[in-house]
Chain A
Amino acid sequence: MQYTVDEYGYYGRFGGAFVPEILQANIAALKAAFRRYKDDPAFCAEFEQLLKDYVGRPSPLYRAQRLSDFYKTNIYLKREDLNHTGAHKINNTIGQILLAKRMGKTHVIAETGAGQHGVATATVCALMDIRCTVFMGATDIERQRPNVERMQLLGAAVEAVHSGSKTLKDAANEAIRYWIAHPADTHYIIGSVIGPDPYPEMVTHFQQVISREMRAQLKEKTGSELPAAVIACVGGGSNAAGAFYHFLDDADVALIAVEAAGRGISSGETAATIATGTEGIIHGSRTLLMQTADGQIVEPYSISAGLDYPGIGPLHAHLHISGRARFLAATDGQALDAAFRLMQLEGIIPALESAHALAALDQLSFGSQDHIVLCLSGRGDKDLAAYHTAAAERSAAAAFAYQHFSL
């Protein structure tokens, strides 16, 4: 398969393990453990059991009828928002905590932006009785308060990160620094398909359940396993990797990834890595990233803290360069429009991240016979404040327009 990883963690020319020498032994041990257990029957049975009884899988594939009518096509939502803790992130943390336990690790660390991965990590650490520390940018702590409180209730220590821009990339930097200083007893659960080999491959592996289920559910609902298109949002790219995985070799299935354009791709306030990035190395992986001509990493911006990342997983860089996946971008405003539409038509409040995937429906056109699967990666509980503010601004703007222009 031309989209799978090679022995050294490369997807085409992207990937690898650019980490300081002190971590080389750690990632080698992790890779060996992953290789040893990924197909181990006892490991797989425990993983599948937890996904079923604890996470609530399989997540439904829901035919969104009113949304389908609106776009004059057939839209199926993969309901990762209904998972325990409210997003796809838990699939990966369950897999990694089972590995960490088998490796004899006594402490787990994680980075988080929106807090979804932090909550998913705190959750599995409570479940497995392992000490948990989550690194989170001071800026994100302010804008994602409810998730900070969740992590703390679950027994995790939340470390505020004050370096750099105080957001997701800095939280990852600080987690790496902590791991450098505590390599023996600590496992670092990275929350997306980013980072050094074996993380992109391993996180993809734990997320591929998404497309495995999609195929079976599509077959049942439509008679065919293959949709016309699969749509997912991309921050680092884990829900997209999971949603694309089992369709990679089906060339007729369009794979559509949606990045966060922030205030616009050319606005200077964006997180659209594919649209604005160039090749380089971030967090141990050769990939596409947002950087200056001098190779300094640029601060990204998105209304969605979970997409506010200046890099992208090496798998996605490869899917882009090879033309296998198509990358679109949605602005803050377009994502909000799409989120409000889903609320009104389907009674579902999506995560702001997932709203970017929904926004792609406005940029694409599908036939009335096409089946489209969209990965609804998470629910919007954490984003109520942002939606509330946006709704208030919109009604104020509408009232203003009404007063001034409609007479």
Chain B
Amino acid sequence: MNRIDHLFQNREQPVLSVYFTAGYPGRDDTREIILSLDAAGADMLEIGIPFSDPVADGPVIQDSSAIALRNGMSIGLLFRQLQGIRDETAIPLVLMGYVNPVLQYGMERFCADAKAAGIDGLIIPDLPVREYALHYKDIVEASGLHMIFLVTPATPADRLQEIDRLSRGFIYLVTAAGTTGGALSGSDEQQAYFEHIGRSGLTQPLVAGFGISNKQDFNRVCQYTRGAIVGSAFIRMLGAANTDLRGNIAEFVQAFR
């Protein structure tokens, strides 16, 4: 069974998912960050593939991507870093990256290598559902990877159902119109949006992301979802972390529990 499905079938508490950019802060920190997050009690991880032009990201993830690229990070290197990771952890791993680097690597090769490296799911925010269904769905599904799509406050009802049909594992609920790294408004409008999505009869679990930076945010969105993703707040912490990466990560994760 895909580890993402296993997680949502077995975990009753809200799922804490943490995003980090591969190759940041140091090129070879990937493994250490994964294992520390697992040890600290995170439930799922999203590994960001750095891109030169990340239009859906705010300044924090933009900067981490630029530094990761300067460090020499690439998809090929990431797969090498992940070799053997499944001997050490069973935490669900999702790759999140922009479509252009993935297409240059080759979708078929990308899925095969990701699967071999122990990856469970993919998020490609600038790959629209129509293109996916036409050209890539068969490749991704044949590999056994789960493709995860995003829903937003601007997603109309018919698209919502299409996204539910095409997504596997979970659906990424974007909390508000904006790039990553904003703040959770907690407005009535936002609450109405969460309730609306919750009532839409979606079959896949919902996991909220964008703007979740502390326990209060986390608890608030998890009233409506099965879990939430923390990204920019974690990257900010990594940027300020001292040499005890493992200790810093444990402390960060604990603060959400």
A residues contacting B by CB (< 8 A) are: 8, 16-26, 163-164, 169-170, 173, 176-177, 180-184, 278, 280-284, 291, 293-297
Contacts of B152 in A (CB 8 A): 20-22
Contacts of B51 in A (CB 8 A): 295-296
Contacts of B223 in A (CB 8 A): none
Q: Is the CB of A21 within 8 A of B150?
A: yes
Contact residue among A177, A281, A293, A297 (Cβ-Cβ distance under 8 Å from B179):
A177
Q: Is the CB of B155 within 8 A of A24?
A: yes
Interface size class, chain B: 35 or more
Closest chain A CB from B114 CB (angstroms): 15
Contacts of B56 in A (CB 8 A): 20, 22, 177, 180
Sample of 15 A–B contacts (CB below 8 Å): A20-B55, A21-B155, A22-B150, A22-B152, A22-B153, A25-B155, A169-B53, A173-B53, A177-B56, A180-B177, A280-B103, A282-B53, A282-B100, A283-B55, A294-B101
Given contacts A18-B128, A280-B103, A295-B105, contact A181 B53 (CB under 8 A): no
| Nearest-CB residue, chain A, relative to B55 | A176
B residues contacting A by CB (< 8 A) are: 51-53, 55-56, 58-59, 62, 66, 69, 74-76, 99-105, 125-128, 130-131, 149-156, 159, 163, 174, 177-179, 182
Contacts of A20 in B (CB 8 A): 55-56, 125-126, 150, 152
Q: Is the CB of A182 within 8 A of B177?
A: yes
Closest chain A CB from B163 CB (angstroms): 8
Closest chain A CB from B111 CB (angstroms): 16
Contacts of B66 in A (CB 8 A): 164
Contact residue among B76, B100, B125, B154 (Cβ-Cβ distance under 8 Å from A281):
B100
Q: Is the CB of A24 within 8 A of B178?
A: no
| Nearest-CB residue, chain A, relative to B63 | A163
Contact residue among A18, A176, A180, A295 (Cβ-Cβ distance under 8 Å from B101):
A295
Contacts of A17 in B (CB 8 A): 128
| Nearest-CB residue, chain A, relative to B124 | A18
Inter-chain CA distance A26–B100, complex, in Å, is: 22
| Nearest-CB residue, chain A, relative to B154 | A25
Contacts of B177 in A (CB 8 A): 22, 180-184
Given contacts A20-B56, A25-B155, contact A281 B126 (CB under 8 A): yes
Contacts of A18 in B (CB 8 A): 99, 126-128, 131
Inter-chain CA distance A291–B104, complex, in Å, is: 9
Contact residue among A8, A19, A21, A294 (Cβ-Cβ distance under 8 Å from B149):
A21
Contacts of B105 in A (CB 8 A): 294-295
Closest chain A CB from B136 CB (angstroms): 12
A8-B130, A21-B159 given; name 13 further pairs at CB < 8 Å: A22-B152, A24-B128, A24-B154, A176-B55, A180-B55, A183-B154, A284-B126, A291-B100, A294-B74, A294-B104, A295-B100, A295-B101, A296-B51
Inter-chain CA distance A284–B125, complex, in Å, is: 11
Q: Is the CB of B104 within 8 A of A293?
A: yes
Inter-chain CA distance A81–B162, complex, in Å, is: 48
Inter-chain CA distance A176–B125, complex, in Å, is: 14
Contacts of B126 in A (CB 8 A): 18-20, 281, 284
Inter-chain CA distance A180–B152, complex, in Å, is: 11
Inter-chain CA distance A278–B103, complex, in Å, is: 12
Contacts of B52 in A (CB 8 A): 164, 296-297
Contacts of B130 in A (CB 8 A): 8
Contacts of A284 in B (CB 8 A): 126
Contacts of B127 in A (CB 8 A): 18
Closest chain A CB from B22 CB (angstroms): 13
Closest chain A CB from B59 CB (angstroms): 8
Which 9 A-B pairs give the minimum distances between C-beta atoms? Answer: A295-B104, A295-B101, A25-B154, A22-B152, A296-B52, A181-B178, A295-B100, A21-B150, A176-B55
Contacts of B102 in A (CB 8 A): 295
Closest chain B CB from A262 CB (angstroms): 19
| Nearest-CB residue, chain A, relative to B54 | A173
Closest chain A CB from B134 CB (angstroms): 9
Inter-chain CA distance A295–B182, complex, in Å, is: 27
Q: Is the CB of B174 within 8 A of A22?
A: yes
Closest chain B CB from A138 CB (angstroms): 15
| Nearest-CB residue, chain A, relative to B127 | A18
Contacts of A16 in B (CB 8 A): 128, 131
Inter-chain CA distance A294–B51, complex, in Å, is: 9
Closest chain B CB from A146 CB (angstroms): 28
Contact residue among A163, A183, A281, A293 (Cβ-Cβ distance under 8 Å from B99):
A281
Inter-chain CA distance A182–B159, complex, in Å, is: 20
Closest chain A CB from B243 CB (angstroms): 29
Q: Is the CB of B100 within 8 A of A297?
A: yes
Given contacts A177-B179, A294-B74, A295-B105, contact A22 B154 (CB under 8 A): yes
| Nearest-CB residue, chain B, relative to A176 | B55
Contacts of B58 in A (CB 8 A): 177
Given contacts A22-B174, A177-B179, A181-B178, contact A296 B128 (CB under 8 A): no
Question: Which of A19, A183, A293, A295: most chain B CB closer than 10 A?
Answer: A295
Contacts of B163 in A (CB 8 A): 21
| Nearest-CB residue, chain A, relative to B62 | A163
Inter-chain CA distance A366–B104, complex, in Å, is: 40
Q: Is the CB of B55 within 8 A of A173?
A: yes
Given contacts A18-B128, A19-B128, A25-B155, contact A181 B179 (CB under 8 A): yes
Inter-chain CA distance A297–B103, complex, in Å, is: 13
Question: Which of B74, B101, B154: most chain A CB closer than 10 A?
Answer: B154
Closest chain B CB from A104 CB (angstroms): 16
Inter-chain CA distance A238–B77, complex, in Å, is: 39
Inter-chain CA distance A345–B81, complex, in Å, is: 63
Closest chain A CB from B63 CB (angstroms): 9
